[in-house]
Amino acid sequence: MNALPPSLVARIPKVELHCHVAGTLRTQTLAALAAQYGIALPRQADQLYVYRDFYDFIEVLRLVAQVLRTPADFARVAYEALEDAFRLGNVQHTEMSFNPQYFLPAGASYHAQVDGLAAGIAEAERDFGVSALLLVAFDREWSPSNAAETMDLVLANRHERVVGIGLDGPERAGPPATFQAVYRRATQAGLRKTAHVCEDNQTLAEAPPSHFGDCIDLLQCDRLDHGYNLLADAATVQRARDSGVFFTTCGVTSVAKNRDRRLKAIRQMADAGLRITLNTDDPAMFHTDMTHTYQHVLDGLHWGWAEAGALSLAGVDACWLDDAAKAALRQRFSDQLAAIAPTQPTSTTASNATSLS
Ligand SMILES: [Zn+2]
């Protein structure tokens, strides 16, 4: 088959649904904010995202948590995240998650965090013609009672940009059932719900297929992040297909030795009829962007134009814009895809494309 040329992949309109604010910071911005607050960097700025090991990566995340304090800091980071997503990946709609728990200890109130992020988003919308929404994420390594307190803040400070909640961090530290009460409150408040589940850098014992059912039954999730480990259980695969739930898969993982396995899992999910979208997770920290991620997956799986188009539209179908905005975005994406479609088929597997959505 013929691989899609990078210039074409760059022009594909894209939606990003799995992206953590803390993973989007440019290294120069992280260094500048650290200097502003008198915090020493562990190494040169251009080496910040070259990790010695997992614990070193966690240290860098802790650094991010210390340098975002004022609404202006959050606005800058949100704006730059959307600018980079648009310029590097032609991302036209983004749903970014942030963990209020990380930033409260350094003095950033929930209100300050949301106001700042929303201001940065509004500015990026004006400058780039994109759109974005926010999700509040809870880290499973923090206690359910801390998540409940954070939920109090979310509900006491409702903001039109914050449309949903998520759950991240190691699954063994907090299985989905642990957070059932928080998710029930989100349902009652009309918030959408997602959760990281069955992520493949964790073992089947740590992130088992059964967590999928718990996310659907107990947390009543509308969408799920990752999902690869559920492939280990045929009955769960069938249930996932029947549910029609979208998975926000990520083509690039932080654990280099697992990258081929990740690609294979994405193909298996698509082949099994699960609804998948492509996303970056932590674009700056993982040295990727949406165009790079698309290219990595399309080339790695020998997918062509039909699959690329299906992934692009799946991002729209899985997003949490209101119905009118979603319909308008789908029309815009369809028009843009039609305008750039190659005249010759670029993949021998084009007939399989419908399995993606
Ligand atoms: Zn993630």
Distance 168 CA to ligand 1 centre (A): 6
**What is the three-class DSSP state of 109?**
coil
Give the Cα-Cα-Cα angle 292, 294, 300 (nearest 5 degrees).
95
* Structural domain includes residue 354: no
* Structural domain includes residue 352: no
pLDDT per 10-residue tile (average), the chain, 357 residues: 89 98 97 96 93 85 94 98 98 98 96 98 98 97 96 98 96 94 98 96 93 98 98 98 98 87 97 98 96 98 97 98 98 98 65 48
* Structural domain includes residue 208: yes
* Structural domain includes residue 348: no
Distance 195 CA to ligand 1 centre (A): 9
Distance 196 CA to ligand 1 centre (A): 7
Q: Is 170 exposed, middle or buried (0-12, 13-18, 19+ CB in 10 A)?
A: middle
Q: Output the domain CATH number for residue 100.
A: 3.20.20.140
Question: Whole-angstrom Cα distance, residue 211 to residue 201?
Answer: 15
Distance 343 CA to ligand 1 centre (A): 36
**What is the three-class DSSP state of 60?**
helix
Question: Whole-angstrom Cα distance, residue 274 to residue 265?
Answer: 11
* Structural domain includes residue 347: no
Other residues' Cβ atoms within 10 Å of the Cβ of residue 1: 12
* Structural domain includes residue 353: no
Q: Which domain holds residue 108?
A: 6-340
Distance 16 CA to ligand 1 centre (A): 12
The angle that helices 305-318 and 290-300 make with each other, rounded to 10 degrees, is 130
Question: Whole-angstrom Cα distance, residue 176 to residue 212?
Answer: 9
pTM: predicted TM-score of the whole model, two decimal places: 0.94
Distance 49 CA to ligand 1 centre (A): 17
* Structural domain includes residue 345: no
Q: How many domains does the chain have?
A: 1
* Structural domain includes residue 113: yes
pLDDT at 57: 85
